[in-house]
Each structure stands twice: as structure tokens, then as C-alpha cells.
Structure 1
Amino acid sequence: MTDHISKQYDQDLETIRSRMMQMGGLVESQARAAIDGYMTGDIARIDAVIANDKRANELEIAIDNDLGQIIVRRQPAASDLRLILAVSKTVTDLERVGDEAAKIARMAREIHGSRVVSGIPLTAVGHVSEIAIGMLRRSLDAFARLDAAAAARVCAEDVAIDSEFRSIIRQLITFMMEDPRTISTSLNIVWVAKAFERIGDHSKNIAEHVIYIVKGRDVRHIPLAELEREALG
């Protein structure tokens, strides 16, 4: 009987982790669709991203409810409790990634509805979007494999995304100074770039949760070198 209960418990945990990965896949596809809509001006795709945001919200609530049930029914041991806490925090980060994707889509709608698009470098955010979405994908892969070393590599990428964001700001400031008519659209592009920088931050958070599960240490707010030592040690 005890063995049966234990197997059911493991199955419950795996089901929740699987649903979290499903949510991760959803918000990653939302981010990809958002940048595609931004680049192409495909209004149908842009509107679909905004409409689909509620799916991520619904998954967040459902997974949190399941986690609450497991804590009440199973009284998890320390290692399982770490996994449960990390899944709960990761789901919050994923929901916020979904929010950022919807924000990018809303900015894209405004940008392409404006008459002042010509000459403004919409592609300026192309590289930062690639870095951010790549970080998200790799953080989820590290979670699926509980790979602390891979998670540490994701954390290290945060420096690149911050540098890229600063470069975009400098480029757009030049455009706004040269032609004040571009100010409104340029500011919207800044918000798009900022949204991708935030997606990178949430991806780094997810990677830190993986290290917490595997190593049992909260590595938030510590220097990168120390985080890497902890993950690889």
C-alpha cells in the first residue's frame, strides 16, 4: 500500500512538472510569435498573441492549485519540497514571460499603426530577442534535465542581453535626436527591447531555480563566479 502511495506521489509530481514544461512551451511560442508579428506587421499574429495570454494565466492558476494539493496531502520531504517551491516560482516567471510577449504584441500593433515607421530600425531588437528566447529555451531544457551546469550557463548570458539592450537605447536616442517625428515609435521600440530584456531576467530566474533544486542552495543575488562554482561543484 505504501509503495502504491509513493508511486502515485511521484506520478503527481511528474504530471505537474510536465504541465509546467507545457506552459513553458506555450510562452516560448508566444514570444516567438510576438517578435514575428513585430517584424512583419502581421496584425492577425499580433492579435493572436494578445488573445492567447489568458491561456498562460489559466495554466499558472491550475498548476499552483495542484501544487497546493500536493503539499496538503503528501507533506513532502526536503528534496521534493525544493522541487515544488521551484516549480511554483518558475510558473510565476513563465506567466510574466507571457505578459511580456503580450506587451511586445501591443507595442507592435501601435508601431505598425503609426505613420512614422520608415527609416526606424525595427530590426534593432532582432538580436536581443534571439538572446532572450534562447535563454528561455535553454533554462527550460536545464529544468527538464535538472542540469545545474547548463543552468549556470544561462545565468552567464544575462550580461550579453543587458549589453545589447544598452546598445539599442543608444541607437534609438540618435534617431530621436535626428528626427523628433520618430520619438513616439522609437519609445515603443524601447519598450519592446525592455520586454525582451525582462524575458532574459525571467529565464535567468528559472535557471537559478534549477540550481536550487539540484544543489539545495538559493543562488539569487550572489556574484556570477560564486553561482558557477556552486552549480559546478
Structure 2
Amino acid sequence: MANATYQREVINQAGLDMLNLSISQLEKAKEAFVNHDSDLAEEVMNIENRVNALDLKIEKDCEKFIALYNPVAIDLRFVMAIRKINYDLERIADHAYGISKYVVDVDKKIPANLIAAVEFDKMFATILLMFESITDAYENKNVKAARKVFKKDKILDEINVQSFSIIESEIKKDTSIIAEALLLFSVVKKFERVGDHIKNIAEEIIFYIDAEVLKHNKKK
């Protein structure tokens, strides 16, 4: 059984590595986008290979763990949760890649007033706080930290909804910024999706620790 414990720890550590790598990728992509730094964007795109390799390793390690140890109860919930968490982290890294590709492919720096108008910095700061919560939840089996994510995701949803009318009015004021405005709108949408993936991760952590299924739960 000691071997199973060791293998579980290997998977757990790989999951944490994936979490840290995804956060790093998104931080770099945001910085590259705001500063129109194509070198940093290229770096994010190159590191995508490392993300994909780690994604495959976690998937194989989880399959091996199930085949070798036939886990039950919390061990089974752990390996099921890690597989789903890994999927969401890989998708977050994909969004970082997509944002970086915009920077490389489209030679347009987004005007600072446009970035400020859609509360872009508030949106990203909220994402970082959500990442802090799930990192704490993951490392310390802290269900309370995982639950903090849900309220913060509503902030992202609100900013995303408002961004359309804000961008529309900015374009009406200055039609020469249409390309930049649409690009910014695409990144805001990606940030909103990142929030959804973080929320999924929080749900999986709660499922693994407390055996509580939150997916599809609706408040009456």
C-alpha cells in the first residue's frame, strides 16, 4: 500500500505543477497582451509544448493508478478529480496560448483607455485571487478556500456582460479602434471562460475532499 501512497503523491505533485504552470502562462499572456510584447507572447507559445507533455503525463499516471491499485472511496475521488482538474488547467493554458497568438499575429497595441474602460485589470486581479483560493484548496485540502471562488466568478461574469456595451460605445466615439476593440472583447471572453474553468476546479476539489457533488446544483 506504501507504493500506492507514493504514486498518489507523484500524481498530486504533477497536478500542482500543472496548476502553477497554467497560472504562469496566463500571467505572461496578460502582460504580453497589455504591453504588446511579442517576445513574451512567443515564450508562452513555446512553453505550450511543456503544458501538453505534463497534461499527457498526468492522464497516463491516473490511468495507471486506477489499473494497478483499483482505488475506492477517497482515493478514487482523488484520481477522478485530478483528471478533471488537469483538463480544466490545460484549457486555461490554451486560453493563454490563444491570447499570446493574438499578440504575435495582430500588430496592434490596445489603447490604455480602452483597457481601463472594460475593467480589464479588475478582471485579471479577480482571476489571480481565484487562483490563490484554488491553490490553497488544492495544497491544504481547504474546502472553505475552494468555496470562495464562486462569488468571485460572478464578478467576472458581470464585467464580461458589461464589456459589450462599453466597447460598443467606445467604437461609436472612435471608429478607428474597431480592430483593437474587437480583439480586447475576445480576450475579455477568454478571461470569463478561465473563470469558469477555475470554478470547475473548485467543484472538483470539494467533490474529492467532501464527496459533495456541486455540478448542476441550482439554488431554489
| TM-score tier after normalising by the smaller chain length | over 0.9
Aligned mate of 2:137, from 138, 142, 157: 142
Match of 1:104 in 2: 99
Q: Secondary structure at the match of 1:104?
A: helix
In the TM superposition, what is the alpha-carbon distance from 1:147 to its structure 2 partner?
A: 1.2
In the TM superposition, what is the alpha-carbon distance from 1:172 to its structure 2 partner?
A: 0.9
Aligned mate of 1:206, from 198, 201, 205: 201
Aligned mate of 1:167, from 158, 162, 168: 162
Q: Secondary structure at the match of 1:157?
A: helix
Deviation per CA, 1:142-201: give whole Å up to 9, x if none: 111111111111122111110111232222111122222222211110111111111111
Q: Secondary structure at the match of 1:213?
A: helix
Query: In structure 2, do the counterparts of structure 1 residues 118 and 80 end up closer, same or farther at CA, with 3 Å as the change threshold?
Result: closer
Counterpart check, 1:182 vs 2:174: no
Counterpart check, 1:71 vs 2:66: yes
Once residues 49 and 93 of structure 2 are traced to their aligned partners in structure 1, the CA distance between those partners, rounded to angstroms, is 9
Match of 1:37 in 2: 32
Query: In structure 2, do the counterparts of structure 1 residues 138 and 118 end up closer, same or farther at CA, with 3 Å as the change threshold?
Result: closer
Deviation per CA, 1:58-114: give whole Å up to 9, x if none: 111111001101100100012100000000000000000000111111223355x13
Match of 2:115 in 1: 122
Query: In structure 2, do the counterparts of structure 1 residues 117 and 25 end up closer, same or farther at CA, with 3 Å as the change threshold?
Result: closer
Aligned partners of 1:33 and 1:46 also within 8 Å = yes
Once residues 135 and 108 of structure 1 are traced to their aligned partners in structure 2, the CA distance between those partners, rounded to angstroms, is 25
Aligned AA (1:220): K
Query: In structure 2, do the counterparts of structure 1 residues 100 and 119 end up closer, same or farther at CA, with 3 Å as the change threshold?
Result: closer
Aligned AA (1:34): A
Aligned partners of 2:15 and 2:86 also within 8 Å = yes
Aligned AA (1:7): A
Number of residue equivalences: 218
Match of 1:93 in 2: 88
Greater mean alpha carbon deviation, residues 75-84 or residues 136-145: 136-145
Question: TM-score w.r.t. structure 2 length?
Answer: 0.93
After TM superposition, the structure 1 = structure 2 runs for residues 11-50 of structure 1, keeping only pairs within 5 Å, are 11-50=6-45
Counterpart check, 1:191 vs 2:186: yes
Query: In structure 2, do the counterparts of structure 1 residues 119 and 10 end up closer, same or farther at CA, with 3 Å as the change threshold?
Result: closer
Match of 1:56 in 2: 51
> Where do 5+ consecutive residues of structure 2 fail to align?
none
Deviation per CA, 1:104-153: give whole Å up to 9, x if none: 11223355x13x74475134422111112321232122111111111111
Query: In structure 2, do the counterparts of structure 1 residues 90 and 119 end up closer, same or farther at CA, with 3 Å as the change threshold?
Result: closer
Aligned partners of 1:34 and 1:49 also within 8 Å = yes
Q: Secondary structure at the match of 1:220?
A: coil
Q: Secondary structure at the match of 1:11?
A: helix
Query: In structure 2, do the counterparts of structure 1 residues 166 and 80 end up closer, same or farther at CA, with 3 Å as the change threshold?
Result: same
Aligned partners of 2:114 and 2:170 also within 8 Å = no
